[in-house]
Amino acid sequence: MSVEKAKAAKKNKKRNRLIFRTIILALLLVAVIYALVSNFNKDKTDISVGSQAPDFKLEQINDNNDLENVKLSDYEGKGVMLNFWGTWCDPCKKEMPYMQSLYPEYKKKGVEIIAVNLDTTKLVVDKFINKFDLTFPVPYDSNKEVRDSYQVGNIPSTFFINPDGEIVEMVEGGMTLNKIEGYLQQILPEQ
């Protein structure tokens, strides 16, 4: 191979490498822009009083309840108290007995209590459920996807959702029996 041909081949190889690298960089840039736009739009979901509650489907882990999965849209036409909690949370421990005491009466009236658990293992949740003899659905949010979609910061956090799927009240922190019952009254379906 002559020196001229070797230089031309080397120049051609450099140009091809440059084109290949440019294409890779362009694909990476597109992927980064897509991820940023997706996250930006995801954060714009409106979670406030008056907005529609985001739908979700989670595995139900309470052995005292027959459901396998909990899907919010299955409760259309009913009021829903959606509570986010963890076994390590002292205010959660205090309000769970209140929720359980109101559950049978309000279930008959068309209101469901759903307590989304945010613990890392199911074993501690099972012990907690049995300790308080909870009978309402306890779905397990293992990847915190539902927590993020409701933009939950501190727990307990509770959303009271009317039969049309609209968030009527958002409460951060523990509640008394009277407060819970007052909010449940607000989401009763019309008789």
Q: 116, 72 in Cβ contact below 8 A?
A: no
Are residues 65 and 27 located together in one domain of the fold? no
41: confidence class by pLDDT, cuts 50, 70, 90: low
Question: Rg of the chain over CA atoms, in angstroms?
Answer: 26
- At residue 138, the pLDDT reads 96
CATH number at 166 reads: 3.40.30.10
Report pTM: 0.77
Three-state DSSP state, 30: helix
Are residues 18 and 86 located together in one domain of the fold? no
pLDDT at 42 > cutoff 60: no
Are residues 34 and 8 located together in one domain of the fold? yes
104: confidence class by pLDDT, cuts 50, 70, 90: very high
Q: Looking at residues 36-52, what average pLDDT do you find?
A: 76
Q: Looking at residues 142-156, what average pLDDT do you find?
A: 94
- When divided into structural domains, the chain yields a total of 2
CA distance to 31, 90, 129, 132, per residue, from 93 (Å) = 44, 5, 10, 9
Q: Looking at residues 71-91, what average pLDDT do you find?
A: 96
Are residues 36 and 115 located together in one domain of the fold? no
pLDDT at 30 > cutoff 90: no
- The 3-state secondary structure of 62-115, one letter per residue: CCCCCCCEEEHHHHCCCEEEEEEECCCCHHHHHHHHHHHHHHHHHHHCCEEEEE
Q: Which residues pair with 58 in a beta bridge?
A: 70
Q: 109, 35 in Cβ contact below 8 A?
A: no
Are residues 87 and 4 located together in one domain of the fold? no
Percent of the chain past pLDDT 70, that is, above it, reads 95
Are residues 62 and 10 located together in one domain of the fold? no
Are residues 1 and 64 located together in one domain of the fold? no
Q: 64, 128 in Cβ contact below 8 A?
A: no
- Tens digit of pLDDT for each residue in 70-80? 999 999 999 99
Three-state DSSP state, 60: strand
Are residues 36 and 58 located together in one domain of the fold? no
pLDDT at 44 > cutoff 70: no
Are residues 150 and 172 located together in one domain of the fold? yes
What's the whole-number average pLDDT of the chain?
A: 92
Expressed as residue numbers, the domain containing 5 is: 1-42
43: confidence class by pLDDT, cuts 50, 70, 90: low
Sequential DSSP letters for 125-156: HHHHHHHHT--S--EE-TT-HHHHHTT--SSS
- At residue 8, the pLDDT reads 87
